[in-house]
C-alpha cells in the first residue's frame, strides 16, 4: 500500500489535537511532539524509493553486512589487511579465541604476504583459485592447519596431492607429516617409492638425509614393506594361475576318459581326426599327448617312474584321485586303485600336497560356479547319467 506524506502528517496532527486520547494515555503534549517527529522520520525513510541502478545483487556480502572493517591482519612484512572480526571468528575457532575487544591486530608469521591475502580471501568467499594453489599451496596448508580451517585444509590436501612431483614430493611429505594429513602423506610416500631413483638425486632428499634421519628410515621401511607386499601379491597371483590350470587339467582328464577327445578316449567311444575339438582343446591336446606317452613309454616298467613326463602324468592321476568324489563309477584309469592304496598306507600325507589338493578343488569349484546356469545344469545332468 502506497502512503503519501500528506496522509502521514494528517494522521499525526489528529493524534496531537486529540486531547482525550492523550489524557487517556497520560502523555504530555511535548511527548506527543517527539512521537510525531520520530514517526514522520521513520515512515519517510521506510517509504523512500530505492535507486533502480543499485541492487543487492551487485554488492558483496561483506559490504552489505559491515560498513567498515574492525580488525587488521598484519603480515610478516608489516602490511595490514583489513577484515571483519565476525567473519574471521566464524571461519576459524583459533582466530575466534585470539580476537578480543582490546586486540584488534592479529599478526601472522612465516608465510608470504600474498599467501596471507589468499588465506583471508578464502575465509570470506570459501574459494581458492588454481593460481593461488599453484603458488601458495604449501603455505595455505600450513595456515589452514594452524588456524583449523578444515574446508581449506581438505582443498589443499587434494591440490597438493595432484601437484606432487619428483622435485617437491619430499617437501610436501614433510609438511603433510607436520600438518597431520595422513592421506597426503601416504600419497607422497607412494610417489616417492615409485620414483625413488629420480627423487634420491634431488636437493630435498639430500636435505632429508642430513637433517631428518628418522623420517628417512621410516620411508625406507615403507618401501621395503611395499616391496614385500608386491612379491606376495605376485606369488599369490602365480599360485592362483597354477591352481586354475591344474583344475582345468582335471576337468579335461575327466572329459578325455569319459567322452573322449580328438585322439584319446575310452574303449567304447570312437575318436579320430574328424571329431571337433572341445572348448578347452589347448589343455586337452597337451594332456592327450602326455597320456599317449605314458601308455607307450618303456621306462614305466616295474613302476619305476624314471621318465619326467610319465612322473608328471602319474601326479595328475594322483591329484585326480585325491579330489574325485565318485571313485566307484569314475572312468579315469587308476582312480580307485590309487585311492585304495592311499587309504591302506594310512599315513599322514605331505602338508604341501594336502594344500595343493584343497586349492585345486577350490579352483575347480569356483570355475564351475563361474559357468552360465544352463551350462552348469548340463554338466550336472551329464554326470548323473
pLDDT in tens, 246-274: 988 888 888 888 888 877 877 677 766 66
Phi and psi dihedrals of 76, rounded to 5?
-60, -30
Cα separation, 281 vs 35, in Å, equals 106
Length of the chain: 385
* 6: number of Cβ within 10 Å: 8
From CA 213, how far away is CA 367, in angstroms rounded? 51
Using pLDDT thresholds of 50, 70 and 90, give the confidence band for residue 199.
Answer: very high
**Tens of pLDDT along 298-356?**
765 555 567 888 888 888 888 888 888 887 788 888 888 888 887 777 655 678 888 88
In this structure, are strands 105-107 and 71-74 parallel, antiparallel, or unpaired?
parallel
Q: What is the pLDDT of residues 179-194, one digit of tens each?
A: 999 999 999 999 999 9
Contacts (Cβ under 8 Å, ≥6 apart) of 179: 141, 142, 145, 153
pLDDT on residue 52: 34
pLDDT at position 292: 84
Quick one: which of 327, 332, 183, 309 has its CA closest to 250? 332
Residue 194 has which C-alpha cell?
A: 615409485
| Strand partners of residue 74 | 80, 107
Across the range 149-162, mean pLDDT stands at 95
pTM for this model (two decimals): 0.60
Task: State the average pLDDT over residues 22-38.
Answer: 41
Name the grid cell of 20: 482525550
71 pLDDT higher than 90:
no
**pLDDT recorded at residue 348:** 59
- Within 10 A of 281 (CB to CB), how many other CB atoms are there? 14
Q: For residue 104, what pLDDT band results from cuts at 50, 70 and 90? A: confident
H or E element in which residue 74 lies: strand 71-74
| 24 vs 207, higher pLDDT | 207
Q: In the chain, what percentage of residues exceed pLDDT 70?
A: 74
Task: Give the CB-side neighbour count of residue 248, counting CA atoms within 13 A.
Answer: 16
Is 147 in contact with 92 (CB distance < 8 Å)? Answer: yes
Reported confidence tier of residue 376, pLDDT bands at 50, 70, 90 = low
Rounded distance, CA 102 to CA 108, Å?
Answer: 18
Cβ partners under 8 Å of residue 207, min gap 6: 170
Domains of the chain with bracketed CATH = 5-49 (no CATH), 61-225 (3.30.710.10), 236-384 (1.20.1020.10)
Looking at residue 195, its pLDDT comes to 93
Q: Strand 71-74's sheet: what is its strand order? A: 80-83, 71-74, 105-107
C-beta separation of 74 from 107 below 8 A: yes
What per-residue confidence (pLDDT) applies to 29? 42
CA 373 to chain centroid: 35
The alpha carbon of 308 is separated from its chain's Cα centroid by a whole number of angstroms, namely 49
- Alpha-carbon distance of 69 to 62, in angstroms, equals 9
CB 156 within 8 A of CB 140: yes
Name, in order, each residue with C-beta under 8 angstroms of 264's C-beta and a sequence gap of 6 or more: 256, 271, 288, 291, 292
CA angle 20, 24, 30 (to 5 degrees): 80
Cβ 254 vs Cβ 283: under 8 Å: no
Decide which of 308 and 136 is more confident. Answer: 136
Average pLDDT over every residue of 127-145? 94
Amino acid at each position: 500500500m502506497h502512503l503519501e506524506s500528506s496522509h502521514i502528517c494528517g494522521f499525526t496532527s489528529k493524534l496531537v489535537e486529540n486531547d482525550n486520547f492523550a489524557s487517556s494515555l497520560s502523555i504530555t503534549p511535548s511527548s506527543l511532539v517527539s512521537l510525531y517527529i520520530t514517526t514522520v522520520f521513520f515512515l519517510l525513510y521506510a517509504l523512500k524509493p530505492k535507486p533502480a541502478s543499485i541492487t543487492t545483487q551487485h554488492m558483496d556480502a561483506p559490504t552489505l553486512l559491515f560498513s567498515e572493517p574492525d580488525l587488521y591482519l598484519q603480515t610478516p612484512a608489516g602490511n595490514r589487511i583489513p577484515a571483519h572480526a565476525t567473519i574471521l571468528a566464524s571461519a576459524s575457532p583459533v582466530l575466534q579465541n585470539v580476537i578480543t575487544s582490546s586486540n584488534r591486530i592479529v599478526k601472522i608469521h612465516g608465510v608470504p604476504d600474498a599467501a596471507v591475502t589468499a588465506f583471508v580471501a578464502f575465509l570470506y568467499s570459501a574459494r581458492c583459485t588454481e593460481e593461488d594453489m599453484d603458488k601458495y599451496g604449501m603455505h595455505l596448508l600450513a595456515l589452514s592447519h594452524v588456524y583449523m580451517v578444515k574446508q581449506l585444509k581438505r582443498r589443499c590436501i587434494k591440490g597438493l596431492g595432484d601437484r606432487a612431483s619428483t622435485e617437491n614430493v619430499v617437501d610436501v611429505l614433510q609438511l603433510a607429516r607436520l600438518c597431520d594429513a595422513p592421506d597426503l602423506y601416504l600419497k607422497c610416500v607412494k610417489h616417492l617409492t615409485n620414483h625413488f631413483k629420480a627423487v634420491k638425486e634431488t636437493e630435498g632428499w639430500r636435505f632429508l638425509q642430513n637433517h631428518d634421519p628418522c623420517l628417512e628410515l621410516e620411508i625406507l621401511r615403507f618401501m621395503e614393506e611395499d616391496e614385500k607386499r608386491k612379491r606376495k601379491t605376485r606369488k599369490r597371483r602365480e599360485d592362483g594361475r597354477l591352481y586354475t590350470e591344474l583344475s582345468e587339467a582335471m576337468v579335461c582328464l575327466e572329459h578325455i576318459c569319459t567322452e573322449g577327445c580328438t585322439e584319446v578316449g575310452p574303449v567304447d567311444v570312437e575318436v579320430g581326426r574328424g571329431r571337433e575339438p572341445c572348448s578347452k582343446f589347448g589343455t586337452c591336446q597337451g594332456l592327450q599327448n602326455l597320456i599317449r606317452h605314458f601308455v607307450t613309454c618303456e621306462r614305466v616298467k616295474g613302476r619305476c617312474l624314471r621318465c619326467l613326463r610319465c612322473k608328471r602324468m602319474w601326479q595328475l592321476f594322483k591329484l585326480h584321485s585325491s579330489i574325485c568324489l565318485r571313485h566307484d563309477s569314475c572312468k579315469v584309469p587308476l582312480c580307485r586303485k590309487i585311492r585304495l592304496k592311499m587309504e591302506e598306507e594310512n599315513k599322514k600325507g605331505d602338508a604341501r600336497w594336502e594344500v595343493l589338493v584343497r586349492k585345486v578343488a577350490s579352483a575347480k569349484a569356483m570355475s564351475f560356479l563361474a559357468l552360465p546356469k544352463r551350462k552348469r545344469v548340463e554338466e550336472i545332468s551329464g554326470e548323473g547319467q
